Amino acid sequence: MVKVQLPRREMELLLLMARELHPREVIALLHGGKSGDVLRISEILLAPQSVYGEGFASFNPYQLPIDLTFLGTAHSHPSGVGEPSVEDLNHAMGRIMLIVAAPYRDENDIYAYTADGEPVELEIV
Protein backbone atom coordinates (compact mmCIF):
# COMPACT_ATOMS: atom_id res chain seq x y z
CA MET A 1 0.00 0.00 0.00
CA VAL A 2 1.28 3.44 -0.96
CA LYS A 3 1.10 6.48 1.30
CA VAL A 4 0.90 10.01 -0.08
CA GLN A 5 2.48 12.94 1.74
CA LEU A 6 1.14 16.39 0.91
CA PRO A 7 2.76 19.50 2.39
CA ARG A 8 0.28 21.78 4.18
CA ARG A 9 1.14 24.66 1.85
CA GLU A 10 0.22 22.62 -1.24
CA MET A 11 -2.93 21.36 0.49
CA GLU A 12 -4.03 24.94 1.12
CA LEU A 13 -3.29 25.81 -2.52
CA LEU A 14 -5.50 22.96 -3.78
CA LEU A 15 -8.33 23.99 -1.46
CA LEU A 16 -8.05 27.64 -2.52
CA MET A 17 -8.02 26.78 -6.22
CA ALA A 18 -11.13 24.62 -5.81
CA ARG A 19 -12.97 27.33 -3.84
CA GLU A 20 -12.06 30.03 -6.39
CA LEU A 21 -13.34 28.04 -9.39
CA HIS A 22 -16.44 26.53 -7.75
CA PRO A 23 -18.86 25.44 -9.25
CA ARG A 24 -16.40 24.66 -12.05
CA GLU A 25 -13.89 21.86 -11.59
CA VAL A 26 -10.17 22.53 -11.37
CA ILE A 27 -7.35 20.20 -12.37
CA ALA A 28 -3.67 20.36 -11.43
CA LEU A 29 -0.52 18.31 -11.92
CA LEU A 30 1.25 16.73 -8.95
CA HIS A 31 5.03 16.52 -8.93
CA GLY A 32 7.42 15.04 -6.38
CA GLY A 33 9.31 11.88 -5.63
CA LYS A 34 9.09 8.39 -4.21
CA SER A 35 10.91 6.90 -1.25
CA GLY A 36 9.96 3.31 -0.44
CA ASP A 37 6.16 3.18 -0.37
CA VAL A 38 5.79 6.93 0.19
CA LEU A 39 4.97 9.34 -2.61
CA ARG A 40 5.92 12.88 -1.57
CA ILE A 41 4.23 15.69 -3.42
CA SER A 42 6.50 18.72 -3.58
CA GLU A 43 4.92 20.85 -6.28
CA ILE A 44 1.53 21.57 -7.81
CA LEU A 45 1.42 22.94 -11.35
CA LEU A 46 -1.29 24.00 -13.76
CA ALA A 47 -1.11 22.38 -17.17
CA PRO A 48 -0.97 24.72 -20.16
CA GLN A 49 -4.30 25.36 -21.85
CA SER A 50 -6.31 23.73 -19.06
CA VAL A 51 -10.08 23.90 -19.37
CA TYR A 52 -12.27 24.24 -16.26
CA GLY A 53 -15.97 23.56 -16.68
CA GLU A 54 -19.06 22.53 -14.79
CA GLY A 55 -18.77 18.78 -14.41
CA PHE A 56 -15.32 18.45 -15.98
CA ALA A 57 -11.76 19.78 -16.13
CA SER A 58 -9.17 18.79 -18.69
CA PHE A 59 -5.85 19.52 -20.34
CA ASN A 60 -3.99 18.28 -23.38
CA PRO A 61 -1.37 15.76 -22.16
CA TYR A 62 0.57 16.26 -25.41
CA GLN A 63 1.32 19.82 -24.28
CA LEU A 64 3.30 18.54 -21.27
CA PRO A 65 7.07 18.07 -21.33
CA ILE A 66 8.57 14.75 -20.33
CA ASP A 67 9.02 15.01 -16.57
CA LEU A 68 10.08 12.12 -14.36
CA THR A 69 8.80 13.92 -11.25
CA PHE A 70 5.16 13.70 -12.44
CA LEU A 71 3.15 11.69 -9.88
CA GLY A 72 -0.44 12.24 -10.98
CA THR A 73 -3.25 14.75 -10.92
CA ALA A 74 -5.52 16.52 -8.47
CA HIS A 75 -8.98 17.74 -9.37
CA SER A 76 -12.05 19.05 -7.61
CA HIS A 77 -15.51 17.57 -7.24
CA PRO A 78 -17.95 20.47 -6.71
CA SER A 79 -20.62 17.85 -5.96
CA GLY A 80 -18.88 17.05 -2.67
CA VAL A 81 -18.36 13.38 -3.58
CA GLY A 82 -14.85 12.29 -2.61
CA GLU A 83 -14.76 9.12 -4.71
CA PRO A 84 -13.46 8.85 -8.27
CA SER A 85 -16.02 8.65 -11.05
CA VAL A 86 -15.80 6.23 -13.97
CA GLU A 87 -14.53 9.15 -16.08
CA ASP A 88 -11.83 9.88 -13.49
CA LEU A 89 -10.64 6.27 -13.60
CA ASN A 90 -10.73 6.12 -17.39
CA HIS A 91 -8.60 9.26 -17.68
CA ALA A 92 -6.23 8.78 -14.73
CA MET A 93 -2.63 9.75 -15.38
CA GLY A 94 0.37 8.92 -13.26
CA ARG A 95 0.41 6.90 -10.06
CA ILE A 96 -2.02 8.85 -7.89
CA MET A 97 -5.13 10.97 -8.03
CA LEU A 98 -6.23 13.49 -5.42
CA ILE A 99 -9.87 14.55 -5.28
CA VAL A 100 -10.73 17.82 -3.54
CA ALA A 101 -14.41 17.67 -2.59
CA ALA A 102 -16.70 20.60 -1.78
CA PRO A 103 -16.90 22.48 0.54
CA TYR A 104 -13.06 22.54 0.35
CA ARG A 105 -12.51 23.36 4.05
CA ASP A 106 -9.51 21.30 5.14
CA GLU A 107 -7.63 18.00 4.78
CA ASN A 108 -10.85 16.10 5.46
CA ASP A 109 -12.09 17.24 2.03
CA ILE A 110 -9.10 15.76 0.15
CA TYR A 111 -9.04 12.10 -0.85
CA ALA A 112 -6.14 10.10 -2.32
CA TYR A 113 -6.38 7.16 -4.70
CA THR A 114 -4.14 5.10 -6.91
CA ALA A 115 -4.70 5.44 -10.66
CA ASP A 116 -6.79 2.26 -10.35
CA GLY A 117 -9.12 3.90 -7.83
CA GLU A 118 -7.82 2.18 -4.70
CA PRO A 119 -7.89 4.47 -1.64
CA VAL A 120 -4.50 5.34 -0.16
CA GLU A 121 -3.50 7.07 3.04
CA LEU A 122 -3.01 10.82 2.76
CA GLU A 123 -0.70 12.46 5.28
CA ILE A 124 -0.47 16.24 5.57
CA VAL A 125 3.09 17.24 6.51
pLDDT digits (tens, 9 = 90+) for 88-99: 999 999 999 999
Q: How many CB atoms lie within 10 A of CB 105?
A: 11
Check: pTM over 0.85? Answer yes or no. yes
Mean of pLDDT values over 90-114 = 97
Which neighbouring-strand residues pair with 35? 38
User: Residue 37 pLDDT more than 90?
Assistant: yes
Q: What is the mean pLDDT of the chain?
A: 95
User: Residue 100 pLDDT more than 90?
Assistant: yes
Q: For residue 62, what pLDDT band results from cuts at 50, 70 and 90?
A: confident
Task: Give the residue from 22, 27, 16 showing the smallest Cα distance to 88.
Answer: 27
Q: What are phi and psi of 118, to 5 degrees?
A: -80, 130
Q: How far, rounded to the nearest angstrom, does the alpha carbon of residue 68 sit from its chain's CA centroid? A: 17
User: Residue 1 pLDDT more than 70?
Assistant: no
Report the topology of domain 3-57+68-124: Cytidine Deaminase; domain 2 (3.40.140)
Can you give the pLDDT at residue 55? 85
